A and B are shown apart, each in its own frame.
Chain A
Amino acid sequence: MNKIHFDQLQETLYHQKLENGLNVYVLPKEGFSKTYVTFTTKYGSVDRTFIPRGGKELVTVPDGIAHFLEHKMFEKEDGDVFQQFSENAAAANAFTSFTRTSYLFSSTSELYENTKTLLDFVQQPYFTEKTVEKEKGIIAQEITMYDDQADWRQYFGTIENLFENHPVRIDIAGTVETIQDITAEHLYECYETFYHPSNMVFFAVGNVNPEEMMKFVEQDQQAKSFEVPEPVVRSFPNEPDYAAKKRSELYMDVSKPKLMVGTKCRNTDMSGKDMLIRELASDVTLDILFGRSSDFFTQAYNEGLIDESFAYEFNLENGFGFAAIGSDTEKPDELEKLIKRVLDDAKNNWSITDEQLERIRKKRIGLFMRALNSPEYIANQFTHYNFNEMNLFDVVPVLEGLTTDQLKAAYDDLYYEDGQTIMTIYPSEQSK
């Protein structure tokens, strides 16, 4: 077992890679009542074309299958796994993103009973045609719920505009139509390929004894048999360095128009420290240009171009990345011009100063320290970084070392000719 102490953060991380390839991490947090435990596979909605375990040819599975599989993991021959978690006082959940599927629980007692339930239910699939059919109605309602949410539609509409081929452009849950094609056989195929322990990470944080937990997981895994680890072969289509669609619009029942500017990241085939520098440099640059202390924010807010809904974010994974900047606005055309002007100015007349960088650097370091209060943040963010060979605990040193040149380099790959899109939602006729 490796023990890694982070002096400045006063945190100690324990790590062990088990024989079957599973990476186990434990981070004890003193004073906490709960333990938050996640069991995550590097498998998300973008993994739609791959060579199934034991196969030779690439296959493409129906859209929405990773999310569908996540739902179905909870149902077993003898009933619903939620029942077991409830009985042992754990709140359980799961989520599927573009690149990960995570199963988790949080409890203040019965830690090992719940850990056993988590490991067992994720490692013992049970799918039948009947249970798969039954789930279609539930997921259809989940998709329909999101269809009525303008923010969600705008976010995914922006991504769809940006990407021509990459499966990040497809809704994580698929559509009511695509999920109809999903069968129990598909689910087993995806399960066998992506749920091997060597493609997964286990993370426990909070009120936990690291030696005990490590031993518990190791013994549990030793008692189960697994196939030999095999690398997963995924295939992604080529993605050009331009936005697939310059703009799109949608009419929905909203009180005010909504504008979102999307910009696509190029040269995203990276991992490790380079990726962490790129991610943090992009975050810091956007913060300087659009944050609450920026000239942009002051002008846009005072002129009534943005309101409290204004937000921006940057997302980077191996193979794709994008930034999205948006707000509810009565003046979408003017807001679009102003955002474009700020982005163009930064490109044509780079003028980010050391003073600005220093201030946002401090802000980001503080933000990270505060986030370490949250077991949820630590587990989820650590896993995301781990799958991209980055280390969460490098965030502070990398922030401390960031230079304006690194900011400039990140920005050159974030904002360039033809890499942008505009997505606008207008109130439909019926809305007032």
Chain B
Amino acid sequence: MFHKTELQSGVNLYTRQTAQFKTVSVAIKFTAPLTEENAAARTVLANVLEDSSAHYPTRTKLRQALEELYGAVYYTDTSKRGNEHIFTIYAESVNEEYLRNPEMPVFEQLLTLVTESLFKPNLKDDLFDEAIVEREKQTVIDRIGSIYNDKTRFANKRMLELIRSGQPASLSASGTEKAVAAITKESLKATYDQMLSDDTIDIYILGDVDVDQLTDRAKTLFPFTKGTRKSVPVTVSKMSEEVPTAKHIRERQEMKQGKLNMAFSTPVGFKHPDYPKMQMMNGVLGGFAHSKLFINVREKESLAYYCSSSYASHYGLLYIMSGIDAEQEEKTAALIDQQIEALRNGDISDLEIRQTLALLSNSIRSSFDSAKGQIEIYDQYKLLDENFSSDKLIEKWERVTKEDIQEMAALLTKEITYLLSGREAMDHE
């Protein structure tokens, strides 16, 4: 779907000419190993680059320039995938074809703004401005702290820390407050230089534009220095040899609902040949409104408003999350266990398999109906197949049998049951 051009070793351009959208989008993705320090430094850098540039030296000037470009979007973001840390610059503008007075080529101007912000940042004496760096450090620290206010996310984060402490699975893409606090304007410049010279880089351009012309200009538009850019080696998170005894942890906060979560490990990760089977198993278990968890925990027993499972394939983990009355913890946990047991016993109907296949297929096809969706899905699946298409993946799901699902369920090892609640009496256990 995207056309790939290698600009140099480790720097690739992916283009797609399409009239589907009224916009033109560009994304630049920098990939480096995920560590606490890397995550913190690159997230602060993301904020600092988004703030201003040499050409637009204040936040206000940069924002006004974007408004003049018909509210063009320009932002930076960080995320993680397995043991990789990904720094993304994303920009999007309206295709001038739809504007009444296209007095200027909007996307061209946006592209200039984006590349300038990246290659000619707002530096003083070859360093970032201290006031901006300090302020953005605080912003990132606040962002890390704000997860506390969202009890659903907080419960999942705590659970991961309890089973994968210090490992990529539990690290935040923003790093830790401590690692952010340690950043200086000097260290941040080193982070910036290293990112430009050492990271592997994927550039995406998508929209109704002359992609050949852009490809010809790409080396000038993106003058990355030639260097040795090594992709991050994939390491599957290590599990201890012996089957761990499942932990059972309860924690308290001042809250009304109880968050009952579970985590299971699985040897099947994103690059494992059985990956599509595990996706199907997760769908039958708890990915949808026809899934066993929704039907039994919510619809039949009225225990929860949400009870679902999600498969974190890059970490070999499967989570179950539910929001319940904490008094119903034992009953709900037993019911969840029963659903997994049912899968292991082959209690899986043809209907459940058909429904799951149908909704997985619908979901991947639908995700191509947004520019960002096309970029993000392709960016992930190109790791498996550069000629990735949704039909190829759907074909693999179609081949999954009841026995496959049964086998996948048998590969789940429960590592933890975790309850976060305001429950008063924590008497037993």
- Complex Cα–Cα for A150 and B152 (A): 12
- Complex Cα–Cα for A293 and B302 (A): 48
| Count of chain B residues near A, Cβ 8 A | 73
Residues of B within 8 A of A82 (CB): 288-290, 294
Contact (Cβ within 8 A) B67 A370: no
Instruction: Report A397-432 residues with CB < 8 Å from chain B CB.
Output: 400, 428, 430-431
- Complex Cα–Cα for A292 and B74 (A): 13
Instruction: Report A62-80 residues with CB < 8 Å from chain B CB.
Output: 80
Check A34 for interface membership: any CB of B closer than 8 A.
yes
Residue interface bits B141-155, CB-to-A below 8 A is 1, else 0: 011011011111000
Contact (Cβ within 8 A) A108 B361: yes
- Complex Cα–Cα for A432 and B255 (A): 15
Check B424 for interface membership: any CB of A closer than 8 A.
no
Known: A141-B323, A145-B305, A430-B254. A293 touches B63 (CB 8 A): yes
- Complex Cα–Cα for A30 and B368 (A): 13
Check A353 for interface membership: any CB of B closer than 8 A.
no
Contact (Cβ within 8 A) B23 A362: no
- Complex Cα–Cα for A226 and B381 (A): 50
**Residue in A8, A137, A375 whose beta carbon sits within 8 Å of that of B303 in the complex:** A137
Contact (Cβ within 8 A) A400 B100: yes
Check A363 for interface membership: any CB of B closer than 8 A.
yes
Closest partner residue, chain A, to B98 (CB atom)? A369
Residues of A within 8 A of B306 (CB): 145
Contact (Cβ within 8 A) B257 A366: no
Instruction: Report B138-170 residues with CB < 8 Å from chain A CB.
Output: 138-139, 142-143, 145-146, 148-152
Q: Which of B14-22, B81-89, B184-192, B272-280 is the contact stretch?
A: B14-22
Contact (Cβ within 8 A) A33 B368: yes
| Count of chain A residues near B, Cβ 8 A | 77
- Complex Cα–Cα for A369 and B288 (A): 32
- Complex Cα–Cα for A344 and B152 (A): 39
**Residue in B67, B139, B254 whose beta carbon sits within 8 Å of that of A359 in the complex:** B67
Residues of A within 8 A of B325 (CB): 140-141, 144
- Complex Cα–Cα for A136 and B69 (A): 50
- Complex Cα–Cα for A33 and B149 (A): 37
Contact (Cβ within 8 A) A33 B366: yes
Contact (Cβ within 8 A) A256 B362: no
Contact (Cβ within 8 A) B94 A369: yes
Instruction: Report A124-157 residues with CB < 8 Å from chain B CB.
Output: 134-142, 144-145, 147-151
Residues of B within 8 A of A90 (CB): 362
Contact (Cβ within 8 A) B370 A373: yes
Contact (Cβ within 8 A) A87 B100: no
Residues of A within 8 A of B234 (CB): none
Check A222 for interface membership: any CB of B closer than 8 A.
no
Residue interface bits A43-73, CB-to-B below 8 A is 1, else 0: 0000000000000000000000000000000
Closest partner residue, chain A, to B20 (CB atom)? A31
Known: A369-B22, A373-B22. A364 touches B71 (CB 8 A): yes
Check B73 for interface membership: any CB of A closer than 8 A.
yes
Residues of A within 8 A of B21 (CB): 31, 373
Closest partner residue, chain A, to B146 (CB atom)? A255
Contact (Cβ within 8 A) B150 A149: yes
- Complex Cα–Cα for A139 and B304 (A): 8
- Complex Cα–Cα for A303 and B68 (A): 26
Closest partner residue, chain A, to B364 (CB atom)? A108
Contact (Cβ within 8 A) A83 B22: no
Residue of B20, B67, B368 with most partner-chain A CB within 10 A? B67
Check A32 for interface membership: any CB of B closer than 8 A.
yes
Closest partner residue, chain B, to A363 (CB atom)? B71
Check B249 for interface membership: any CB of A closer than 8 A.
no
Residue interface bits A335-357, CB-to-B below 8 A is 1, else 0: 00000000000000000000000
- Complex Cα–Cα for A107 and B146 (A): 35
**Residue in A106, A148, A151, A293 whose beta carbon sits within 8 Å of that of B60 in the complex:** A293
> In the complex, how many angstroms separate the beta carbon of A7 from the nearest chain B beta carbon?
10
**Residue in B142, B294, B324 whose beta carbon sits within 8 Å of that of A307 in the complex:** B142
**Residue in B60, B66, B93, B100 whose beta carbon sits within 8 Å of that of A298 in the complex:** B60
Check B383 for interface membership: any CB of A closer than 8 A.
no
Known: A82-B289, A109-B362, A308-B142. A365 touches B70 (CB 8 A): yes
Residue interface bits A253-273, CB-to-B below 8 A is 1, else 0: 111100000000000000000
- Complex Cα–Cα for A106 and B362 (A): 8
Closest partner residue, chain A, to B151 (CB atom)? A148
> In the complex, how many angstroms separate the beta carbon of B335 from the nearest chain A beta carbon?
14
Residues of A within 8 A of B20 (CB): 30-32
Check A309 for interface membership: any CB of B closer than 8 A.
yes
Closest partner residue, chain A, to B322 (CB atom)? A141
Residues of B within 8 A of A149 (CB): 150-151
Closest partner residue, chain A, to B23 (CB atom)? A370
Residues of A within 8 A of B256 (CB): 144, 147-148
Residue interface bits B89-111, CB-to-A below 8 A is 1, else 0: 00011100011100000000000
Contact (Cβ within 8 A) B369 A375: yes
Closest partner residue, chain A, to B64 (CB atom)? A293
> In the complex, how many angstroms separate the beta carbon of A99 from the nearest chain B beta carbon?
23
- Complex Cα–Cα for A137 and B301 (A): 9
Check A250 for interface membership: any CB of B closer than 8 A.
no
- Complex Cα–Cα for A107 and B302 (A): 28
**Residue in A8, A32, A363, A365 whose beta carbon sits within 8 Å of that of B369 in the complex:** A32
Contact (Cβ within 8 A) A253 B63: no
Residue interface bits B308-326, CB-to-A below 8 A is 1, else 0: 0000000000000001110
**Residue in A9, A106, A302, A365 whose beta carbon sits within 8 Å of that of B366 in the complex:** A106
Residues of B within 8 A of A138 (CB): 298-299, 302, 304-305
Closest partner residue, chain B, to A367 (CB atom)? B71
Interface pairs A-B: 10 shortest CB-CB: A366-B70, A137-B302, A31-B20, A366-B71, A89-B358, A363-B71, A86-B355, A82-B289, A293-B63, A142-B305
Q: Can you list 9 A-B pairs, Cβ within 8 angstroms, ordered by A?
A: A33-B365, A80-B299, A83-B355, A148-B151, A148-B255, A151-B149, A253-B148, A328-B146, A373-B370
Q: List chain A positions with a Cβ less than 8 A from chain B.
A: 8-10, 30-34, 80, 82-83, 85-92, 106-109, 134-142, 144-145, 147-151, 206, 252-256, 291-295, 297-298, 301-302, 304, 307-309, 328, 359-360, 362-367, 369-370, 372-375, 400, 428, 430-431
